[in-house]
C-alpha cells in the first residue's frame, strides 16, 4: 500500500463543497488537459456532495466496467448505482409534447413580449417551493433535431428524485456534443436553463481540453486542472477560477490521485484540529534503524534513519517552523520515548520555549528537562535546566559546555542521542569555514557513537554544499499551494504532502504521495 493511502482526509476543497451545497441548482465547468484528474474529481463529488439516490455520473468516454477497473473503490460503495454508461442508455426517445397554438397567430413582436413576461413571472415565483417536474423546454427544441436517449434518461431520473435536489456529473461535454452534432454552447445552455435554473439540479460538466472556448459565462462556476513538474517530479494543481456567490479562501490547491481517489492537499480536517493532546505512543526501532516516529516515513526509508547517519533537510523560504516541525517533532518524541536524549542548536525563528511547549504536549515535562539540551550562543546564564548558555566565554569554554551537555543528554547509560543542528545559526556565529570544520569533526565522533543527526539548511547558506557532502540523506521541504510537502534528493523519492493524521494522538503526521 502506498504511504498514506490507508487514511484519507481532505478530499474536495471546502469552497467547492460550499458552492455545490448552496441554495438551488449550480453549474460548473471543469476543464484541463488529459491526465490532470478531472474524471477522478467528478467521481469524488458523488461521494462528497451527492446523495445516493440523487446523484448521477454520465460517462461518455469509457464504459462503466472500465471505470471500475481504474477506480476499484467504486464497486465497494453505493456509488456504483449512480455511474451511468452512456452506451447502455439507449432507451426509446420520449416524444416531445406538441406546442400549443393559442398564440401562434400573434405577431413575432407580441410573442416575444409574452415570452419576456413569462420569464419575469418565473423569477417572481421561484420561491413558491421546489419543482416537482423537470423542465424540458430547451431539451425539447434539441430533440426536434436529433434524438438523445441518454440525456432523456437522465432527465427522467432527475424528475423521479424531485423535489429533492440532484447532482449530475457529465464526463464529457465533448462526448455528448460530438455524438449528436450539437454546438457546445447550446447544449450547456439547455442544461443550465432546464436543470440548473428550473429543476433544482447541480450540474458538473467536464471538458476534455484545457480551454472552455468562451462558454464560461453560461455557468456559475469554473474549475481548471493543470499538471506541472517540480524538480522533475509530477505535481497536479486545481484552480478555483469562478464560484459564484462563494468566497474563495484559497484559489489554488495541490492535488493527488493516490489510490485512484481525488484529494486536495493542505486541508486540516476539523477532527484533527480539535483533537486533544495525547501521550506519545512510540514506534519500535527496527534493527540498525531509528524510527522517524512516522509510520509512512519509516516505510519510505526502508525502516527509518540508519543508526549513526546524518540527514539533511533543505527548507524552502516560504516554509515556516510549524510546517517542518510536523516532520521533526515525531522523531524527537520517539527518541525521548525510547529513553534517549537530544542536543539541539535551533534556527532563527525557532525558540526553546516553543520547542519545549510542543514536545511536552505529548511527553512528560520532566523527561524533556532531563534529556534535552539546547545550545544558546547568546545566553550568559539560564534558569532552565535544558538551556546550555554559551555566551559567557570563548570557544574553548563553549566546547567544554557542549561536551558536558552531551553527557547529560546521553544519561548514565551513555546511550546515543539525536543531534539537531540548524546551520544558519552556526554560519552566522562562526562563519562558514569554521562552522564546516567544527561540524566535520562532530560528524566523525557522532557516527562512531551511533548518534542520529538531523541538519536544517535554509536558503542562501554558504556552507550548504559542503554540509550536503557529509550527509547520508538529503530532503527538501517545500510549500506547494499552501500544502507543506517534501521529497528526497538522496534517496530520490516522489513528492509527499505532510499533514495531520486524525487517527493518531499527540503530534500526528501522515505522508500522502502526490500522484
Banded pLDDT at 8 (limits 50, 70, 90):
very low
Cell triple for 404: 558536558
Q: Are residues 247 and 302 in the same domain?
A: no
For residue 120, the model assigns a pLDDT of 46
pLDDT tens digit sequence for 10-46:
589 999 999 998 888 999 999 999 889 999 999 899 8
Residue 153 neighbours by CB under 8 Å, 6+ apart: 84, 89, 91
Q: Which among 68-77, 129-138, 506-515 has the top mean pLDDT? A: 129-138
Domain boundary among 217, 241, 264: 264
Average pLDDT over residues 277-290: 89
Is the confidence at residue 75, as pLDDT, over 80? Answer: no
Is the confidence at residue 102, as pLDDT, over 80? Answer: no
C-alpha torsion angle, residues 139, 140, 142, 148 (rounded to 10): 70
For residue 304, the model assigns a pLDDT of 95
For residue 88, the model assigns a pLDDT of 47
Q: Are residues 292 and 259 in the same domain?
A: no
For residue 430, the model assigns a pLDDT of 84
Domain boundary among 212, 230, 264: 264
- Using alpha carbons only, give the angle 439, 440, 441 rounded to the nearest 5 degrees: 90
Q: Which among 58-72, 98-112, 428-442 has the top mean pLDDT? A: 428-442
For residue 382, the model assigns a pLDDT of 78
Average pLDDT over residues 56-76: 61
Is the confidence at residue 5, as pLDDT, over 70? Answer: no
Q: Is residue 465 part of a domain?
A: yes
Q: Is residue 319 part of a domain?
A: yes
Q: Are residues 127 and 259 in the same domain?
A: yes
Average pLDDT over residues 485-504: 87
Distance CA 155, CA 319 (A): 49
Report the relative pairing of strands 55-59 and 27-32 from DSSP bridges. unpaired
- Do 316 and 476 form a contact (C-beta atoms < 8 A)? yes
For residue 314, what are the β-bridge partners?
Answer: 457, 476
For residue 334, the model assigns a pLDDT of 95
Banded pLDDT at 94 (limits 50, 70, 90):
very low
Average pLDDT over residues 234-258: 94
Q: Is residue 53 part of a domain?
A: yes
Distance CA 335, CA 286 (A): 13
Q: Are residues 127 and 219 in the same domain?
A: yes
Concatenating the DSSP letter of every residue in 131-196 gives -SS---HHHHHHHTT---HHHHHHHHHHHHHTTS-EEEEEE-HHHHHHHHT--HHHHHHHHIIIII
* Helix locations, 194-273, DSSP H: 270-273
Q: Are residues 349 and 444 in the same domain?
A: yes
Q: Which among 62-66, 271-275, 393-397 has the top mean pLDDT? A: 393-397
CATH number at residue 448: 3.40.50.300
Domain boundary among 239, 264, 289: 264
Q: Pick from 139, 124, 131: which is nearest to 189 by CA?
A: 139
Distance CA 51, CA 45 (A): 10
Q: Is residue 507 part of a domain?
A: yes
Q: What value does the mean pLDDT of the chain take?
A: 83
Q: Are residues 468 and 410 in the same domain?
A: yes
- Do 31 and 210 form a contact (C-beta atoms < 8 A)? yes
Q: What are the C-alpha distances in Å from 283 to residues 157, 210, 412, 489?
A: 52, 46, 23, 25
Q: Are residues 286 and 415 in the same domain?
A: yes
Q: Is residue 195 part of a domain?
A: yes
Cell triple for 91: 432507451
Helix, strand or coil, per DSSP, at residue 398: helix
pLDDT tens digit sequence for 179-225:
999 999 999 999 999 999 999 999 999 998 888 778 889 999 999 99
Q: Are residues 288 and 416 in the same domain?
A: yes
Is the confidence at residue 314, as pLDDT, over 80? Answer: yes
Q: Which among 146-155, 290-299, 428-437 has the top mean pLDDT? A: 290-299
Q: Are residues 292 and 329 in the same domain?
A: yes
Q: Are residues 244 and 298 in the same domain?
A: no
What residue numbers bound the domain in which 307 lies? Answer: 275-513
Q: Is residue 340 part of a domain?
A: yes
Number of structural domains the chain divides into: 2
Q: Is residue 89 part of a domain?
A: yes
For residue 97, the model assigns a pLDDT of 44
Q: Are residues 285 and 223 in the same domain?
A: no
Percent of the chain scoring above 90 in pLDDT: 54
Banded pLDDT at 101 (limits 50, 70, 90):
very low
Q: Are residues 242 and 307 in the same domain?
A: no
Distance CA 61, CA 176 (A): 9
Q: Is residue 422 part of a domain?
A: yes
Cell triple for 495: 513528492
Helix, strand or coil, per DSSP, at residue 285: coil
Amino acid at each position: 500500500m502506498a504511504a498514506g493511502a490507508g487514511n484519507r482526509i481532505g478530499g474536495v476543497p471546502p469552497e467547492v463543497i460550499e458552492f455545490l451545497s448552496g441554495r438551488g441548482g449550480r453549474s460548473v465547468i471543469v476543464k484541463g488537459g488529459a491526465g490532470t484528474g478531472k474524471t477522478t474529481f467528478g467521481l469524488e463529488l458523488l461521494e462528497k456532495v451527492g446523495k445516493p439516490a440523487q446523484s448521477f455520473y454520465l460517462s461518455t468516454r469509457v464504459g462503466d466496467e472500465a471505470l471500475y477497473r481504474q477506480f476499484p473503490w467504486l464497486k465497494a460503495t453505493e456509488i456504483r448505482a449512480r455511474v451511468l454508461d452512456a452506451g447502455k442508455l439507449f432507451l426509446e426517445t420520449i416524444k416531445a409534447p406538441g406546442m400549443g397554438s393559442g398564440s401562434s397567430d400573434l405577431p413575432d413582436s407580441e410573442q416575444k413580449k409574452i415570452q419576456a413576461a413569462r420569464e419575469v413571472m418565473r423569477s417572481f415565483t421561484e420561491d413558491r417551493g421546489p419543482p416537482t417536474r423537470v423542465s424540458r423546454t430547451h431539451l425539447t427544441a434539441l430533440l426536434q433535431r436529433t434524438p438523445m436517449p441518454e440525456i432523456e434518461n437522465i432527465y427522467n431520473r432527475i424528475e423521479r428524485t424531485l423535489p429533492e435536489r440532484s447532482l449530475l456529473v457529465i464526463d464529457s461535454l465533448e462526448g455528448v456534443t460530438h455524438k449528436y452534432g450539437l454546438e457546445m454552447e447550446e447544449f450547456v445552455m439547455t442544461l443550465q436553463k432546464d436543470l440548473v435554473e428550473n429543476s433544482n439540479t447541480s450540474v458538473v460538466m467536464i471538458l476534455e481540453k484545457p480551454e472552455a472556448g468562451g462558454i464560461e459565462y453560461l455557468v456559475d462556476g469554473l474549475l481548471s486542472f493543470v499538471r506541472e513538474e517540480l524538480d522533475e517530479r509530477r505535481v497536479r494543481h486545481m484552480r478555483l477560477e469562478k464560484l459564484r456567490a462563494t468566497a474563495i479562501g484559497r484559489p489554488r490547491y495541490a492535488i493527488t490521485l493516490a489510490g485512484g481517489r481525488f484529494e486536495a492537499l493542505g486541508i486540516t480536517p476539523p477532527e484533527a484540529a480539535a483533537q486533544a493532546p495525547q501521550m506519545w505512543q512510540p514506534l519500535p526501532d527496527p534493527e540498525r534503524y531509528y524510527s522517524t516516529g512516522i509510520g509512512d516515513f519509516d516505510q519510505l526509508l526502508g525502516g527509518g534513519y540508519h543508526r549513526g547517519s546524518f540527514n539533511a533537510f533543505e527548507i524552502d523560504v516560504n516554509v515556516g517552523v510549524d510546517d517542518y516541525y510536523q516532520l521533526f517533532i515525531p522523531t524527537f518524541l520517539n527518541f525521548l520515548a525510547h529513553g534517549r536524549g537530544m542536543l539541539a542548536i535551533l534556527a532563527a525563528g525557532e525558540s526553546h520555549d516553543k520547542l519545549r511547549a510542543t514536545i511536552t504536549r505529548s511527553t512528560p515535562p520532566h523527561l524533556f528537562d532531563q534529556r534535552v539540551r539546547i545550545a544558546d550562543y547568546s545566553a550568559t546564564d539560564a534558569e532552565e535546566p535544558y538551556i546550555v548558555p554559551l555566551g559567557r566565554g570563548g570557544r574553548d569554554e563553549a566546547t567544554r559546555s557542549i561536551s558536558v551537555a552531551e553527557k547529560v543528554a546521553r544519561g548514565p547509560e551513555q546511550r546515543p542521542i539525536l543531534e539537531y543542528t540548524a546551520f544558519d545559526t552556526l554560519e552566522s556565529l562562526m562563519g562558514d569555514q569554521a562552522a564546516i570544520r567544527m561540524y566535520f569533526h562532530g560528524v566523525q565522533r557522532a557516527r562512531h557513537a551511533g548518534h542520529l543527526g538531523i541538519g536544517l539548511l535554509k536558503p542562501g547558506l554558504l556552507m550548504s554544499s559542503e554540509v550536503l557532502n557529509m550527509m547520508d540523506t538529503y530532503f527538501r521541504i517545500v510549500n506547494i499551494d499552501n500544502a507543506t510537502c517534501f521529497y528526497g534528493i538522496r534517496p530520490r523519492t516522489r513528492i509527499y504532502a505532510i499533514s495531520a493524521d486524525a487517527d493518531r494522538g499527540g503530534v500526528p503526521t501522515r505522508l500522502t504521495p502526490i500522484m
